Amino acid sequence: MNLKTKLKNIKTRFKAASKAFLNPVPTLKPTVFVKTLEPSVVLDNQLLAGKNALITGAGRNIGRSIAIEMAKQGANIFFTDIDIELCSHLEKELSIYPVKVRGFVSDISKSEDIDSLYSILSQENIAIDILVNNVGIQFETIAINNLNLGEWQKTFQTNIFGPMYLTKLISQIMMSHSIEGSIIFMTSVHQKEVIRWLSYSSSKAALGMIIKELAVDLAPHKIRVNGIAPAWVAEDEQGYSLFHNYHLLHHSSINPCYIGRAAVYLTSDYFSKFTTGTILKIDAGVSLYNYRVAQDPPQ
């Protein structure tokens, strides 16, 4: 082989090596194909189109706002409340949206009510894509000297045991229908911040770990589990927020619609397909407030 041929071969190999370096051929193929939503879906405000959402305690405040915001995004709304009048009113309120709406008078703290709800859903082949465990109760007991075991049992039955039993049944529906579902627990900023309501804050702290454990447990089934931790959520009859000195941002209560929109975010595949085990804190900065902030407030 003459020198000219050798140089030509070297040049060819160098060119091939350079091409491989700059444009490597992948040796591993992706094992999972993740379907993404097109921006037009978001622009059309149909982030939850065709999904069936079950929201507990939806008669007022946070639960009502979640139902409204999800209906705006095309979700069919199934909801519970213990007040028949609130159920009827919300059904009428949601009737302006082109979605299915149905309320159930149900007490989530009672296993027999949950069984009845599950039976109706099963018999009517209503497969739930989204479960929002919103229902909750609080007792403002401050001191250990006032400990009331009945109060603790009612708090944990309503805030934890009932929602967990419902979550078990709904997650079974999701798994049996191969639904890549989404589950939300409404916890509180007081799962970490002291409020001096012993049973309430303790129950919310328990939910914080339940969210993480369930996120791991249900991940193989592509079911996401997340939480929302609000501070004081309230507004007057005209829809205006109320003054709150310790909410550093805006110095006001949080309008419930912002919790509803956060629920849409967490249940939308477009935004949160890879989000699980997350607790979204919406507290207007109240958890940042301490004695040093009080001594040297921002100007």
Q: What is the mean pLDDT of the chain?
A: 87
pLDDT band at 18 (very low <50, low <70, confident <90, very high): low
CATH superfamily name and code, 39-295: NAD(P)-binding Rossmann-like Domain (3.40.50.720)
The full set of domain ranges for the chain reads 39-295
Residue bearing the bigger pLDDT, 15 or 22: 15
Dihedral of the CA atoms 188, 193, 196, 198 (nearest 10)? Answer: 60
Tens-digit pLDDT profile for residues 107-129: 999 999 999 999 999 999 999 99
Q: Give yes or no for residue 242 having a pLDDT over 90.
A: no
Element (H, E) at 272: helix 269-272
Average confidence (pLDDT) over 65-70? 96
DSSP code string of 203-239: HHHHHHHHHHHHHHHHGGGT-EEEEEEES-B---TTS
pLDDT band at 287 (very low <50, low <70, confident <90, very high): confident
Specify whether the CB–CB gap between 118 and 171 falls below 8 A: no
> What's residue 28's pLDDT?
41
Can 165 be counted among the known catalytic residues?
A: no
Tens-digit pLDDT profile for residues 36-61: 555 555 545 689 999 999 999 999 99
Cα separation, 242 vs 61, whole angstroms: 14
Tens-digit pLDDT profile for residues 156-215: 999 999 999 999 999 999 999 999 999 999 998 887 888 878 888 889 999 999 999 999
> What's residue 34's pLDDT?
42
Residue showing tokens 């919310």:
204
pTM: 0.84
Q: Residues 97, 200, 258, 289: which is the catalytic one? A: 200
